[in-house]
Structures are given as C-alpha cells and as structure tokens.
A and B are shown apart, each in its own frame.
Chain A
Amino acid sequence: MTVVRIPPTLREQVGGERQVEAEGETVRDLLHDLMSRFPALRPQLVENDDLAPFVNVYVEGEDVRTREGLDTELHEDSTVILLPAMAGGSV
C-alpha cells in the first residue's frame, strides 16, 4: 500500500480525507485503483488516457513527467503527492 497525499482542492472527491492508501506497482496502477474507488477523481486526474495538463503527480518529491510518467515504479514506502493547479490568493 502506498500513501497518497490528497490536496485540499480534491478532498471532497475522497470523502474529506487528507491522505488515502492505494495499491499499485506503477503510478498508472495506483491511479487506476484510486479512481475505481473514488470515481469523482477521474476527470480531475486524467484526460485522453494520460495525466491531465492541470495536475501533477509527485513520487518522492519528483514530478513523474520527468521520470517514467505513468509507468514510474512505486515502492511500499513511496510517498505520492497529487497536485492540481491552485489559483487562490486574495478571494
């Protein structure tokens, strides 16, 4: 199981949790597991079967796009951070 950090803008889609556990040997499997349990996450994370351009996934503090993308491998103790664009400043 890998711990996935849920950003405040996506917590609604996972029942308000700050982090959830998910399973998968790669980022693709992990997101698949996550989205099958929390279907509301799907449009926030993927577009045309790829990562959506307005969201980043970090494994061990590195953007998976700079590694193997969705094929980036995960380990038991990997930390995954989901990070969608966030605009708030003064509202």
Chain B
Amino acid sequence: MSTYRELLSQVKDEIDEVDAVHARELIETGDPLILDVREQDEWDEGHIPGAVHIPRGNLESRIESAAADRAHSIVVYCAAGNRSAFAAKTLEELGYEDVVSLAGGFTDWKRNGFPLELATGLDAPKRARYSRHLLIPEVGEQGQLKLLDSKVLLIGAGGLGSPASLYLAAAGVGRIGIVDADVVDESNLQRQIVHSTERLGEAKVDSARQTIEALNPDVQVVAYKERLTSENVERILADDWDVIVDGADNFPTRYLINDASVWHGIPVVHGSIYRFEGQVTVFRPRAVARDGAFQDARALRARPSELTARPADGDGYGGEPGPCYRCLFPAPPPPELAPSCAEGGVLGVLPGIIGSLQANEALKLALDIGEPLVGRLLLFDALAAEFNEVAIRRDPDCPVCGEHPTITDYIDYVEFCAGTRELA
C-alpha cells in the first residue's frame, strides 16, 4: 500500500524527465511526438504547437494510432508534470523506448515564454457532431476545421447531386453551392433523395437547401436557381470554390464545367450514370489561363489557410496534373448518334452509389488525403456488382489543357436530347 505521493515519487524515479528548455531543444532538433495528456478544456486553453491531444484516460487505447513505432521518441506533458509522469510510465510498459516527461508541465513551458497554440475552434456541439471524424487520425480536429472551411459547388441537385449534397453536408463542408434550374417533379423521387413528396413543384435548389439545413445547420447553402451557361459560369465560379462536383445531365453543361474548371484551376469530381452503369473520375488538370498561358494551379488557387494547413504527406493540389474531360473525349457526340431520351432510364439506387463515390472524392480533395481518382476512370456495373477501372492520360494535344490550346473561350453546344451540336 502506498500513498499518492509515494507512488508519484516511485514513478518519477523510473522514468526520464526533462525541463522546458531541454524539451524545447528536443522538439526543435528532432521529430518527437509531442503528446498532451490533459483534459479537453485544458487543451482548448492552449497547448504546445504540433502537439497531439490524447487525454490520459484514453492513452492506452489511442496511442497506437498516434505512434505505432515503438522506437519513435515521445515528449509527454500535462499541466504540472505529474499526470505526464504516470503517462510516461504507461508508455514504457507499452514498449515505447524513448519517452520523456516534461517536468513542470505546460505551466513551466508558458513561464519560459515558449510558443503556444490556442484552441482551434471546434466547440462542444461540433465536437459531438463530428466525433466520428475526430477519431480518424487522417481527419481529426484539423481536418474537420478544414472541411468546415471548404467550399464545394454541386452542378445539379438531381440523382447524383442528392447523395453527394447530403453526405457533404453531413460531413460538415462549410459552404455548398447548388446550381439547378429545375423544379421537383414526381419522376424525380424514385432516386433524388434530397427532395420529397411534399416539395413537388418547388425549385430543386430550395428543396435541397431545406433538407441540407435540417440535416446540418453548420452548412451554408448557396443556391443558384439557374442553368449553367456561358453567360453565368464566370459569375458562379467567382464565388471561390475548392471543388466542383459534376452531376449534370447533358453534354453542353459538362463541357462548360470542364473548360471553366481548367481556366479556374478547380478540380472536378465527375460522375455519370445510365441504366445500370455509372462512371466516376476526378479531373484535376493543370490550370491554364484563358489566353493560353500556363499557370500553376497551386499559385492560382493558393490561399493563406491552404498553404499553412496542408499536411506534408497529402497528395492534394500539389499532385501531378491529370487529364481533363476533353483529354478523355475531345468533343461531344453529334445529336443524331446520341441515344434518344426515351431509351434512357436508371436504376434508382445507382446514382446513390455513384453520387456517394463523388462525395468521397470531394471530401478527400477538401481534406487533401488519400489517392484521388485522378487519371483513373472507375466503372461500376450494378447488374454484375462489378467495378472496373481504365486509365485516362493527359493529352498533350488537348484543345483546352494541352500544350497549345485551341479552345480559349466558352462554347455553347446546343442540346438535342442527350446529344449536342456546336452552335454555329
């Protein structure tokens, strides 16, 4: 039987302690995991920059996800150096070989005037709402803040836009723009789950806005009750979007989105569906100015928040430029060859699958994590329950994103059922 004092003193004899000056040297000269084991409210009031927060009560269960490598050095701290002493002991029992506890804790760190990072801003309700994101190391609090600060433009609030908008809204994408000129009609409800029977006759953008705001009040919906055209595309894109989710139902809009996104340096998550089959890909070509001069996509889009918040290991906007839609299909098919409208149709769940895959890609782009579907066209066959993938390459002769662009202004194709013809 021992008292707290005796136990603490015994533990402190068994672990290594450093003072604030030495801890700062370790942090500046090496790459230790800085581990804060205090409670949430203490963390919120300020912590050591770059620290990972795992309250001591969760230490054993969550340390693996922060440091799987037992040889990785760890500087652990709390407020005054006592809880961190017990944490260091636990870490050693778990096999971590190089653990030091900050004697004097965060109090001593502050007293030395060393750098602090203040709470980043997720309040308690947001922490509860996004708790399943916060538990994923690749998202976490920084990632969630990024999502809340991100802006995704959806073209179409229909079959693909429905699941995409719902999942992006639920995930906490801060601003969602929706471009759609249609009203909700009965034939939509077999698959367009963002709408409902009681909204029949309402504008789709208004209907979608109501559903999204009911789902997540953190999301700001920007509704564009209009059809995307060469007349309005510049105005809509001027609202500073990070990602475009293309769920358009016609070729003129798809080519318009492509050309605009190349000139604005905005990645497009492309999805299309027909009967039982769907396709998804991400077009993230290099950005080209409209006069044909190349621009670096990152420079074109750089904002201070992105430059500081981008994790070093992400692919994100710094990845190799991929193909654009015109690299895949330089021009739309002539109207007489496109399947007639009456032959169309789609299994109701198919846009649910494809639109959800688009949301997945959009979230990855916004978070700058994982491998986006750049240069890969994913094909899904619902009847066979089969995924296939084909490679799409950047075309150096592409009329829009190639070396010598020949298309430098918007083209209005005339829609003819599912087919198109260039306006004379």
Question: A20 to B281, alpha carbons, bound, how many Å?
Answer: 26
Residues of A near B160 (CB, < 8 A) are 89-90
Does B418 belong to the interface (CB within 8 Å)? yes
Residue of B with least CB distance to A79? B388
Residues of B near A43 (CB, < 8 A) are 337
Does B272 belong to the interface (CB within 8 Å)? yes
Residue of B with least CB distance to A52? B333
Residues of A near B180 (CB, < 8 A) are 90
Interface contact B418-A8, CB-CB below 8 Å: no
Interface contact A91-B158, CB-CB below 8 Å: yes
Given known contacts A54-B331, A62-B390, is B337 in contact with A86 (CB within 8 Å)?
A: no
B147 to A: closest C-beta gap in Å: 24
Using a CB-CB cutoff of 8 Å, which residues 276-308 of chain B contact chain A?
276-277, 279
Question: A58 to B188, alpha carbons, bound, how many Å?
Answer: 34
Interface contact A87-B254, CB-CB below 8 Å: yes
Of the residues A12, A81, A90, contact of B248 by C-beta under 8 Å? A90
Using a CB-CB cutoff of 8 Å, which residues 1-59 of chain A contact chain B?
7-9, 12, 18, 43-44, 52-56, 58
Of the residues A53, A61, A89, contact of B391 by C-beta under 8 Å? A61
Does B313 belong to the interface (CB within 8 Å)? no
Interface contact A91-B332, CB-CB below 8 Å: no
Residue of A with least CB distance to B392? A63
Interface contact B333-A85, CB-CB below 8 Å: yes
Of the residues B161, B333, B393, contact of A54 by C-beta under 8 Å? B333
Question: A12 to B338, alpha carbons, bound, how many Å?
Answer: 12
Interface contact B249-A56, CB-CB below 8 Å: no
Interface string of B159-172 (1 = CB under 8 A from A): 11100000000000
Q: How many inter-chain contacts with C-beta < 8 Å in the A-B complex?
A: 104
Residues of A near B156 (CB, < 8 A) are 89-90
Question: A83 to B344, alpha carbons, bound, how many Å?
Answer: 17
Interface contact A8-B276, CB-CB below 8 Å: yes
Of the residues B157, B161, B251, contact of A87 by C-beta under 8 Å? B251
A16 to B: closest C-beta gap in Å: 12
Residue of A with least CB distance to B161? A90
Most chain B CB neighbours (cut-off 10 Å) among A53, A85, A89 = A89
Which of A's residues lie within 8 Å of B, judged by CB?
Answer: 7-9, 12, 18, 43-44, 52-56, 58, 61-63, 65-66, 81, 83-91
Which of B's residues lie within 8 Å of A, judged by CB?
Answer: 156-161, 180, 188, 192, 246-251, 254, 271-277, 279, 328-333, 337, 339, 341, 343-344, 346, 351, 377, 379, 383, 388-393, 395, 418
A-B contact pairs, 26 of them (CB 8 A): A8-B274, A8-B276, A44-B337, A52-B333, A53-B330, A53-B331, A54-B331, A54-B333, A58-B390, A66-B391, A66-B393, A81-B379, A86-B273, A86-B279, A87-B249, A87-B251, A87-B254, A87-B332, A88-B272, A89-B158, A89-B247, A90-B180, A90-B188, A90-B351, A91-B159, A91-B344
Closest 8 CB pairs of A and B: A90-B158, A54-B333, A85-B329, A89-B247, A91-B249, A89-B249, A53-B330, A58-B390
